[in-house]
Amino acid sequence: MGSIEWCNMTLPPMLAKELSEGIVRQHLQAFADEISSHATECYALVTEGVDSYSTVGNSRFGGDPDLPLGMDWPTPDWNDEKTYSNFVAQINFAELPPLATDQSLPTNGILYIFVNHMLGASEPVILDAIYFEGDKSTLRRCPTPPELSLTNQWLVSLIPQRVRAVPAVSIESCPKLLQRRIAAESEVIDGDPGMARLYKLHAELKRPQQIGQMLGFAHHGQENIYRLVVLARLNQRRLQYDDWFESIEDFDAFIQKLRDMGRHDIANIRRHALDGVIWLQENREMINRHVREWRLLFRLDSNLPMRLEINDFDPLYVFIRHEDLACRDFSNLAGEVTQN
């Protein structure tokens, strides 16, 4: 359950200064080295307002995509009825300013992201992605199919936003050693414990009008979303609720604590999770190895400008394997949403 080891943790000077000043404002100086070692460069995706469709092929969230002539709107293969995937984003890589520390993205072409299937945080999101490197003159605005023919009714009537990418800082917050040290050694300041101030630091690093992110880390409190991706790929997603224990002894101590509190009914129910906990412990290294294969490609936040609300105003995360990104293969993306 450790950190994501692949990322280049060196920040350019301006972003390093921004992070350092934020750490001071949140009274986290005692943990500055650890936080900085878990920070990297990313793109903040900010809205420039409603997209009027005055240009073709620009980066856009929601609304109608600009598809090449002859390219069909994606349709799910799991539904016997004629339905269509929901368009959520097109990203023109040529519009992205270069990052100082990460050159992994293409420098041209357009990535289209559609949601094929999304029910909630208990299961993965199925995505349809199209990467187009051809002649931009073949692009044309493609009207969205009727709402009732779209697969996901949470993602209909999204107000199109013209999007611009801005370099920013992303912090990895899921390493448990970092979490535990901050929780154990930080003081409560102005009513906020250390972990609450770390979350505030995340919020401070967001750009005005930011509604998404490319690259960097998938941040969702103390939850390691990369492990959800891997458990789903291993057909063990049901074990996500048992994936909190460092050892069998840790699990046994949790059960005993429930009994000491008089919660025998819950203790008996949770005791049935032992087989899953054992499987997770026995396969720890294999899971960690697979976790390191994935990185965050894209995050779309629930936001008011688009009138996008997923679950409890949660984000949609899109992950890609390193080797797939290096090969410009966007056909095997993994999607996740959270809820809280």
| In a shared domain, residues 228 and 216 | no
Task: Domain count for the chain, please give it.
Answer: 2
For the entire predicted model, the pTM comes to 0.91
What is the reported pLDDT for 56?
97
| In a shared domain, residues 207 and 261 | no
7 in a structural domain: no
| In a shared domain, residues 160 and 21 | yes
DSSP letter at 187? P
204 in a structural domain: yes
Site of tokens 């996008």: 308
| In a shared domain, residues 54 and 139 | yes
> Which one, of 331, 326, 320, lies nearest residue 293 by Cα?
320
Say how far residue 115 (Cα) sits from the centre of its chain: 14
Calpha distance 131→136 (Å, rounded): 12
Instruction: Read off the pLDDT of residues 39-81 as tens digits, 9 standing for 90 and up.
Output: 999 999 999 999 999 999 999 999 999 999 999 999 988 767 7
6 in a structural domain: no
Calpha distance 304→214 (Å, rounded): 20
4 in a structural domain: no
What is the reported pLDDT for 27?
95
What is the reported pLDDT for 9?
60
| In a shared domain, residues 182 and 267 | no
Half-sphere exposure at residue 62, Cβ-oriented, CA atoms within 13 angstroms: 27
What is the reported pLDDT for 68?
96
| In a shared domain, residues 264 and 162 | no
Positions of the chain with pLDDT under 50: 1-3, 5-6, 8
Amino acid in the structure at residue 336: E
Q: What is the CATH number of the domain that holds 94?
A: 2.30.320.10
| In a shared domain, residues 208 and 234 | no
269 in a structural domain: yes
| In a shared domain, residues 36 and 113 | yes
Say how far residue 192 (Cα) sits from the centre of its chain: 26
Calpha distance 250→71 (Å, rounded): 53
What is the reported pLDDT for 6?
45
Burial string for 187-211 (b: 16+ CB within 10 Å, else e) reads eeeeebebbbbbbebbeebebebbb
What is the reported pLDDT for 222?
62
| In a shared domain, residues 63 and 18 | yes
> Which one, of 226, 217, 218, 222, lies nearest residue 176 by Cα?
222
| In a shared domain, residues 107 and 96 | yes
Domain that holds residue 44: 13-220+294-337
| In a shared domain, residues 260 and 128 | no
What is the reported pLDDT for 2?
47
